[in-house]
Chain A
Amino acid sequence: MLTLGTALAFGGAAIAAGFAGVGSALGVAVAGEAAAGVMSEDPDKFGNVLVLQAIPGTQGIYGLLIAFIILLNIGAVGGDLKELTTFQGIAMLLAGFPIGLVGCVSGYTQGVVAACGISLTGKRPEETGKGITFAAMVETYAVLALLISFLMVNGIKL
């Protein structure tokens, strides 16, 4: 039977995957626009700009990872759905928030930084590494949020 707790846990998975995915989609889109601009003038830079465009996509993967762990823990993946108490459900819901929110914001902002890095690559291809480093700095906070969400999900005894 689907309890309120189980439904809340589904909410946690949805927040983790959904919000982080939105952030990544926006970030990849911004970086993609800048990449298209560079490519329309100099198609030889495809390799360099592709790396930078892909970087904001990681938040979506982190969100998916947490969502998958939540679904695995509540038995949604194996078809043996557990009946969670309301408090267990709230805990699962809250566990989805760190990566959901931080992933959303950092995904977009990382896209902005990556777009600037792509512009840097357009002007000075030899500086692509620095552009990647700038974009990777934003990743730190998504990784921290992933860690917290992971610890929270694993800390909930079912």
Chain B
Amino acid sequence: MPQASYAYAMGRVSVMTIKMLDAVKLRRIAEAATEREALVMLLETGYGGNLSGSNTFNKEIDYIIRDQLTQSRADVWEITPDPERTKLFLLEVDTHNIKAFLKARLLGIEVPDILRYGGVFNLDMLKECVKTKNYEQLPDIYKKAMNEIEQDLLREVDPLSFSAKIDSAMFRYIKAELDRLHDHSFVRDYFSLMADFQNARSLIRARFLHWDVDKIRPQLLECGEIDHRYFLEAIDTPMEQLSGKLNRGSNGRLIAETLDDYNSKSQLPVFKQKMETALMEIVKKASYNPFGLGPIIGYLLGRNAEAKALRVIFNAKRSGVEVNLPELYQ
């Protein structure tokens, strides 16, 4: 019988974590000669439950990964003693689903088979909200954002704009929840770093596309430590001075280093790589406190990273390119 206690969660997570695929196993799968061989090797590790390689088709890997992620979210909901903070890490599932429902409605099609399960909001409720354009059942921040989007859609359909508004609502909601809970734990550090990194990335993209301040403003996410004012001012700042301008708050040094790295390499993925590494570091550090939320969130993000690595491996096998594994939990 599940018990909502950190001790129970710690015990359970300790065993669930060893069932995860570590970097060694993933590299071995990545070294398989064919996609088929990689699938057989993956299923031999126990991933996917009782499935065996002989009766599983190559294209089923996406369903297997999705099923595993759904299971890991269900496990986390079951064991977490702190659902108020845990839900913040699962909001991205709802954000993805809202976008999927909205795009499907605009295209006049049924929702494609890309929905994610185990989020914070009921999936049927979300579907009904988007279908009827009535968002009363959503939290105020989401309701306001979705009503604004519906107004915008009457004028023009801009997927980038409504996507940014939904992301922005998610971060506003996270910040509001963290403030309500008076949270100063790793959860705030995590989302603050993520927001600052995303904002820096948006700034670089905006400069590249020659956007003006009005266009980048809605793209900036709340919850970060670097004031939006500095990002808006930085739109005209010379590239070599950007790192100095944004080196503010506890995340500033890392953002500045990443900007310098970008300056030397001119590759936008450097932001994502550095962000993923830094976010994983925060969670790994938090997981050393066994009587806290760290191990539970570490497990959740570890499963996400594992799924991402598997998708990278299988896509690389299909297209015949070299595998470059993303940041892993273990």
Contacts and interface: CB of A to CB of B under 8 A. Distances in A.
Contacts of A34: 7-8, 10-11
Interface in B1-36: 2-3, 5, 7-18
Contacts of A142: none
B17 A123 contact: yes
Nearest to A33: B7
Contacts of A94: none
B291 A33 contact: no
A122 B14 contact: yes
B290 A116 contact: yes
Given A115-B290, A116-B290, A33 B14 contact: no
Interface in B206-232: none
Interface residues of A, number: 23
Interface SS, B side: helix
A106 to B, nearest CB: 18
Given A122-B18, A123-B18, A37 B10 contact: yes
A30 to B, nearest CB: 5
Residue of A30, A31, A40 ringed by the most chain B CB atoms within 10 A: A40
A42 B16 CA distance: 9
Contacts of B2: 40
A41 B10 CA distance: 12
Contact of A33 (B8, B13, B18): B8
A38 B12 contact: yes
B293 to A, nearest CB: 15
Contact of A115 (B3, B7, B79): B7
B14 A119 contact: yes
A119 B10 contact: yes
A34 B10 CA distance: 6
Contact of A37 (B13, B18, B291): B13
B3 A33 contact: yes
B18 A30 contact: no
A45 B2 CA distance: 18
Given A112-B291, A115-B290, A116-B290, A33 B15 contact: no
Given A112-B291, A115-B290, A116-B290, A33 B11 contact: yes
Interface string B290-326: 1100000000000000000000000000000000000
Interface residues of B, number: 18
A118 interface: yes
B11 A37 contact: yes
A35 interface: yes
A31 to B, nearest CB: 7
A141 B269 CA distance: 55
A28 to B, nearest CB: 11
Interface in A43-84: 45, 49
Contact of A123 (B3, B5, B8, B14): B14
B16 A41 contact: yes
A40 B291 CA distance: 18
Contacts of A147: none
A143 interface: no
A37 B9 contact: yes
A36 interface: yes
Given A33-B3, A112-B291, A118 B11 contact: yes
A120 interface: yes
Contact of A35 (B11, B17, B18): B11
A119 B18 CA distance: 11
13 contacts: A34-B10, A37-B9, A37-B79, A38-B14, A40-B12, A41-B15, A42-B15, A45-B15, A116-B10, A116-B290, A118-B14, A119-B290, A122-B18
Interface of A: 30-31, 33-42, 45, 49, 112, 115-116, 118-123
- Closest 8 A/B residue pairs (Cβ): A37-B11, A122-B14, A41-B15, A37-B12, A33-B7, A34-B11, A38-B11, A119-B14
Given A37-B14, A40-B11, A115-B11, 6 more contacts: A30-B7, A31-B7, A35-B11, A37-B7, A37-B79, A118-B14
